[in-house]
Structures are given as structure tokens and as C-alpha cells.
Amino acid sequence: QVQLVESGGGVVQPGRSLRLSCAASGFTFSSYAIHWVRQAPGKGLEWVAVISYIGSNKYYADSVKGRFTISRDNSKNTLFLQMNSLRAEDTAVYYCAKENEPEAGRSEIDYWGQGTLVTVSS
Amino acid sequence: QSVLTQPPSVSAAPGQKVTISCSGSSSNIGNNYVSWYHQLPGTAPKLLIYDNNKRPSGIPDRFSGSKSGTSATLGITGLQTGDEADYYCGTWDSSLSAVVFGGGTKLTVL
């Protein structure tokens, strides 16, 4: 069965960096676009970024553009999110989520990981 | 402020029917498929409806979806207490090149 397991969350000071990982299994990782979606405490879902199946296309939310970088290693079935210049408003549970197509925006997000909590606080 | 607009909350009695609306624009709902997700407290979202009105395997036919123009609707019949959750609509926005979600609707089964 499809499994997406995020890791790398924790408490970090404003202005610092953090790298999240998402280990995938149960499907052909290299054939699908993968997203990061976050949810601040008590708030709704906010899309963060997506990367196409071979990493050739990447899209970002305006709120993270220039600070966050999405990448993937298909040889290790792993997705990454490098987060720089973190702000208090980046505090959220970060989910990796699989799209049902190779390219972004063509299909639904059909599976979600359990999330990893990032807290930005001094 | 979310790009897609949902009511913050809806409620109905067990066994009744409820609908949740999702309003957008031509750059998102008007020209792309809509998905619906539900999120039980403390858990990850789960796909409920895709391609406007299709159900993944394992989702009962009590759940239905529809789309008309720049709006979409989720319907739930035969409400159960286990349906209490947050419900989100989502789609691709072709102008933003981004996934957009509604702000979420909290369903209470009284």
C-alpha cells in the first residue's frame, strides 16, 4: 500500500533553516508528481510546493517562493523540502502528498503522509 | 483568505443530508477538476471525491460531488456521527500554477 513518511520536523529559531524529508513506498515513486502541503495549528490546508516526476518542473506558493526549495531523489524514493529564512508563520504540520499524475496540476492528490510538525520560535 | 470559498461550518442530524459548497473562479474550478478531502481530528486529510464526482474505492456512495460553472458541491446523505470532520475542496489554479484549497468546513452531526 502507498506510504509516505515525513521526517525532519522540530523547533527552529526564526531566520534559521530546516530540511524535511518524505520517504515513499508502495508505488513507483519516479512516476508521480509529489506535493508539500502544510497546516498551521487550528487552521486549514495551505499548499506549499509541487515537483514533477523527474524534477523538471517545480511550482511554489507565493508565501514560500525564494525561501523554500523542493527536490527529489528518485533513486532513493525520497522527497525533500529545504526551508530557509524561516518565519513564525511557517509553523505548521507539513504533509507530503502524492498526485495521481507525473506532471503537476493534472490530477488529484490521492495519498497523504501523516505529517511532521515544524515550530519556528525563539 | 482562501482562493476557494467554503462555509466555515454546517450541521445536521444523524440520518439527514448535508451539502457543502465550494466557490471559485474560471482559473480554478471553472477549468479544472475538483477534489474533496476530509480530515478527522488529529489525522491527515483523505481523498473523498476526485474529478468532480468520482469516489475512490472504499468511499461509500453516501458521498457525492458535483460541479457547475465555477462552483462545486459535496453531498453527504445518511449522516453518521463518524462523519464529523473538516472537509476541504481543492483544485489546480491555472493562473497561479498552484493547488488551491477552500478554507475548510467543519461538519457537526448533532
Which tens digits make up the pLDDT trace of A20-56? Answer: 999 999 999 999 999 999 999 999 999 999 999 999 9
Chain A CB contacts of B104 below 8 Å = 44-45
Residue with cell 511557517: A90
pLDDT of residue A99: 96
pLDDT of residue A108: 93
Chain A CB contacts of B45 below 8 Å = 37, 45, 95, 97, 112
Query: Looking at the predicted structure, is the pLDDT value of residue A107 above 90?
Result: no
Longest dimension (CA), chain A: 40
Chain A CB contacts of B50 below 8 Å = 100, 107-108, 110
Residues B105 and B6: beta-carbon distance below 8 Å: yes
pLDDT of residue A7: 97
Q: Does residue B110 or residue A19 have the better pLDDT?
A: A19
pLDDT, mean of residues B85-106: 96
CA-nearest of A28, A26, A2 to A112 is A2
pLDDT of residue B25: 97
Give the span between the Cα atoms of B91 and B110, in whole angstroms: 30
B104 torsion bin: left (phi>0), alpha (psi -120 to 50), beta (else): left
A62 contact partners, CB below 8 Å, separation of at least 6: none
SS3 content of chain A, % helix, strand, coil (to 5): 5, 50, 45
pLDDT of residue A109: 96
Q: How far is B15 from chain A (nearest CA, A)?
A: 27
Q: How confident is the model at residue A98 (pLDDT cuts 50, 70, 90)?
A: very high
pLDDT of residue A106: 83
Query: Looking at the predicted structure, is the pLDDT value of residue B1 above 90?
Result: no
Q: Within 10 Å of residue B77's Cβ, how many Cβ atoms?
A: 14
pLDDT of residue B101: 97
Closest partner residue to A45 (CB to CB) among B47, B88, B94 is: B88
pLDDT of residue A105: 85
Give the span between the Cα atoms of B67 and B52, in whole angstroms: 6
CA distances from B23 to A22, A94, B27, B53 (A): 32, 26, 12, 16
pLDDT of residue B86: 98
Query: Looking at the predicted structure, is the pLDDT value of residue A17 above 90?
Result: yes
Give the span between the Cα atoms of A64 and A47, in whole angstroms: 10
Q: In angstroms, what is the C-alpha Rg of chain A?
A: 13
Query: Looking at the predicted structure, is the pLDDT value of residue B32 above 90?
Result: yes
- Residues 98-117, chain A: which have Cβ within 8 Å of B? 100, 104-115
pLDDT tens digits for range B63-87 = 999 999 999 999 999 999 999 999 9
CA angle B107, A109, A112 (to 5 degrees): 75
When the pLDDT of each residue in chain B is averaged and rounded to a whole number, the result is 96
Q: How confident is the model at residue B102 (pLDDT cuts 50, 70, 90)?
A: very high
